Amino acid sequence: MNAGRNFDSEFAAFLRELKARNDIVEVIRSYVSVDRKGGNYWACCPFHHEKTPSFAVNEADQFYHCFGCQESGDVIKFVQEIESTDFMGAVRILAARAKLTVPENNFDTEEAARKKKKRDNMSKILLDTARFYLGNLYSGDERAEVHLQYISGRGLAPSTVKKFGLGASLDFYSLPEYLSGKGYFREDLVDSGVLAANDKGRLYDALGGRLIFPIINAMDEVIGFGGRVLEKTKFGKYKNTKETLLFDKSKTLYNINLLKKLKREQPIKDVIIVEGYMDTISLYQAGFKNVVASMGTSLTKEQARLAKRYTDNVLISYDGDFAGQKADLRGLEILDEAGLHLRVVPMPDGLDPDDVARQGKEAYQKCLDAAMPLIDYRLHSLERSYDLTKTEGKRRFISAALKIVKTAESESVKEELLKKLRDKTNVSYSALERDLQSVKAESADEEQELPKERISEAAAGTDKQLKAKRFILAAKLFSAPYANELDISELPLGDETHIVIAQYIADREKKKERIRPSELFELLDENSAEFNAILDLNYGDKLSGETAERFFFDSVRTLQIQAIDGQISECNAEYEKETDTEKRKEISRRIFELIQKQKNLKRRN
């Protein structure tokens, strides 16, 4: 287990100052709406979909906890998650907010320091590369003419080109020469993804000869590049720089930087997700600034979560051929699972959003107005795969369509879809409804619950002990008055998370210092599920009142009984090994005393 970050005293002091100047309520309020209720502030969780607020912000102890998805942390962890950055990235954001200077040499390990230096070097390389490509585009070099003609042919205004930082790679070797001249190390140049080495070890531009699209993250950092070939070639039309320490395509969205700026200016009702760079740029120029690209049709959970930070409503707008790509349609369910309200934008056959946007804003708005829920779009796509004028085609369509209808989340939606199916096929509603009853859902996961009688007594006992440990630790953490007299160091705590928490509590009590649950985020692994389960108990009246007090002392007895069980087992093992008669009698006496002590405790239960 990671014992947490071991900062030097200077940086630890800086972190305390950083947190003191960044009140967690004010920081969270800058991202989501929060309301005060009772002793805490509450919001709809920014990390999962919910209609009833379960995201609590404890102002007194400066930490947050969601009772729905169990996300929790201090102000630094919140910024890490909401901004999709690392620990030091969050520190820098908060430092800028508080107008503090981050001290140098503040990392907890040599490895972290090395990685930070590596990241900084790569970031500088990527920024210099972006400037180099941009300079090429307007350099007057005749080789840039093909890039400018392509841009002009796609109808992009100079202001749009500047906004997205488009550039030009004119050949394979001028970029390596330029970057090497700036003193960068060969290893960093290759690791950044902008250069690669051929069989002879010579460095070359990984996107040589292409039109360049800088990929910028939500922190306004260039993290990678996309490139489009402008001539016929055996290679793919589009190519991205490789995955690096900074760039992971599955965890970012193209144009997320401008979307973040838009959110600061106005509420975002919905986000349009397209497939590629040109789709994004054309829609943005046409006035649809709420657009990002997945850089491929296979959406990921990370991209879904990133989109959700800006809105709960997503419009998927892929090309007109997308309708027949069943695998990709199923992939959109990732958005649904992330709690996003998903609609799919139907496009004219053979056209993509870029094509339609160039016809004018009204043309694309008409497509948006026709957007439909995913299940409706699946039926829409299916219909285009069959000839409904022929009996066989109609029957096959109905059979496949009913499997989709079966997956609808409610009976009312099923009824609505069956009516649409009736209108398309001229088959009676009652006949379709009867057929639906016998259809097995297309993607239903048949999960069988294990019979309760198969749960062993041992497992039940373990569960009881776990609940007892969690409740005791929660009562001590949140200073329940009935828990004051308990010396927590005397209880058996086998879980490493429990041990760290108990040691923290014991240390604070010994020093007669206030127990602050938020300090444990620096001592425990990130995303500690066990710590989150303990924080869950600090909700409503779970820790207060006579019932809570009784449960606390019952929990203490449960663990005391468990401890005696362990002592009896040790004595039994000792007895088996011992050959001396007198010593065996002494062990027997100890076992008897332990059994009596255990019985007395059980009588009090």
193 pLDDT tier (thresholds 50, 70, 90): very high
In tens, the pLDDT along 33-81 reads 888 887 789 998 887 777 788 888 988 888 898 888 778 889 999 998 8
Domain boundaries, the chain: 9-98, 110-247, 256-373, 386-437, 458-604
CA atoms within 13 A on the CB side of 296: 14
pLDDT at residue 2 greater than cutoff 80: no
pLDDT at residue 4 greater than cutoff 80: no
Fold of 256-373: Dna Topoisomerase Vi A Subunit; Chain: A, domain 2 (3.40.1360)
Residue scoring higher pLDDT (605 or 490): 490
Which range is least confidently modeled, 232-236, 320-324, 419-423, 522-526? 320-324
CA–CA separation, 209 and 166 (whole Å): 14
So what's the pLDDT on residue 308? Answer: 82
**Secondary structure of 529-584 in HEC code, one letter for each residue:** HHHHHHHCCCCCCCCCCHHHHHHHHHHHHHHHHHHHHHHHHHHHHHHHHCCCHHHH
377 pLDDT tier (thresholds 50, 70, 90): confident
So what's the pLDDT on residue 525? Answer: 64
Query: For 19-38, what is the mean pLDDT?
Result: 89
Helix, strand or coil, per DSSP, at residue 275: coil
Q: Burial of 459 by CB count in 10 Å (0-12 exposed, 13-18 middle, 19+ buried)?
A: exposed
pLDDT at residue 339 greater than cutoff 80: no
pLDDT at residue 154 greater than cutoff 90: yes
So what's the pLDDT on residue 451? Answer: 36
Determine if residue 166 is left, alpha or beta; phi over 0 gives left, psi from -120 to 50 gives alpha, anything else beta: beta
Question: Which CATH number is correct for 9-98, 3.30.360.10, 3.10.20.740, 3.90.580.10, 3.40.50.2300?
Answer: 3.90.580.10
So what's the pLDDT on residue 603? Answer: 65
Query: For 477-491, what is the mean pLDDT?
Result: 84
The answer to whether 520 touches 501, Cβ cutoff 8 Å, is yes
Residue scoring higher pLDDT (175 or 550): 175
Q: Which class in CATH covers the domain with range 110-247?
A: alpha beta
Query: What are the contacts of 503-509 at 24+ separation with CB within 8 A?
Result: 505/473, 505/476, 505/477
So what's the pLDDT on residue 480? Answer: 87
pLDDT at residue 324 greater than cutoff 50: no
Enumerate residues 6+ apart whose C-beta is below 8 A from 525.
1, 2, 4, 497
Which range is least confidently modeled, 114-118, 147-151, 365-369? 114-118
So what's the pLDDT on residue 452? Answer: 36
Highest mean pLDDT (candidates 121-135, 327-341, 415-429, 523-537): 121-135
Residue scoring higher pLDDT (137 or 338): 137
